[in-house]
Amino acid sequence: MKVNLYKYLIFSGLLLFTACSKTPESILSPSIKIQLDKATGSYILLFTAGIKNENDSVVFSNFNGKVKIIDNNKRQIISIPFELPVILPFETGIIKNTVTLSESEANEISKFLNIDLNLLNPESEEGTKFLDDSNVSLEIKGFEKEDIIKFLKKKVK
């Protein structure tokens, strides 16, 4: 009787361990670039980063939230919304978003990145900066989790 209970507990523990999925908690390689749109005279922020699904059998869909750029004093500079339709197992979903900045936002970001807005050239890579992990915060608003087999069966039908 004790042997069966012992086997049951081990099996339950293994089942629970393999059934858990890890939700992404951070972003990978965040970078931003400020450009001057000559046509409108406004500043544009181009943001790129990745979110990795480290699960082997879980698909994340309708994954959305905000990436917050924060300064060294932990004060938010800007919030960038994003939405990723699907992140497959072991895949990195790429966030690419463009935000039109107000003049005050552009000044604040340029000060944070140590970039002179007057010297920006739209064709130049000058404004591209990789951000330190301590200057980026991920806020997940929502997502759906689904087993990869069920997800693929729906796609085949």
Ranges of each domain in the chain = 22-156
What are 58-70's pLDDT values in tens digits? Answer: 999 999 999 999 9
**Averaged pLDDT of the chain:** 85
User: Which residue type is seen at 116?
Assistant: D
Structure tokens that stand for 136 in this block: 């980026």
Q: Is 113 a residue whose pLDDT tops 80? A: yes
| pTM given for the model | 0.79
Q: Is 102 a residue whose pLDDT tops 70? A: yes
What are 24-55's pLDDT values in tens digits? Answer: 888 999 999 988 888 888 899 999 999 999 99
Task: Label each residue of the chain as H, E or C.
Answer: CHHHHHHHHHHHHHHHHHHCCCCCCCCEEEEEEEEEECCCCEEEEEEEEEEECCCCCEEEEEEEEEEEEECCCCCEEEEEEEEEEEECCCCEEEEEEEEEECHHHHHHHHHHHCCCHHHCCCCCCCCCEECCHHHEEEEEEEEEEEEHHHHHHHHHC
The whole-angstrom separation of Cα 140 and Cα 16 is: 24
Estimate to the nearest angstrom the gap between the alpha carbon of 144 and the chain centroid. 15
CB 25 within 8 A of CB 138: yes
| DSSP H or E segment with residue 103 | helix 103-113
Class of the CATH domain delimited by 22-156: mainly beta
Q: Which residue has the higher pLDDT, 151 or 12?
A: 151
**3-state class of 14 per DSSP?**
helix
Q: Which residue has the higher pLDDT, 103 or 84?
A: 84
Q: Is 8 a residue whose pLDDT tops 80? A: no
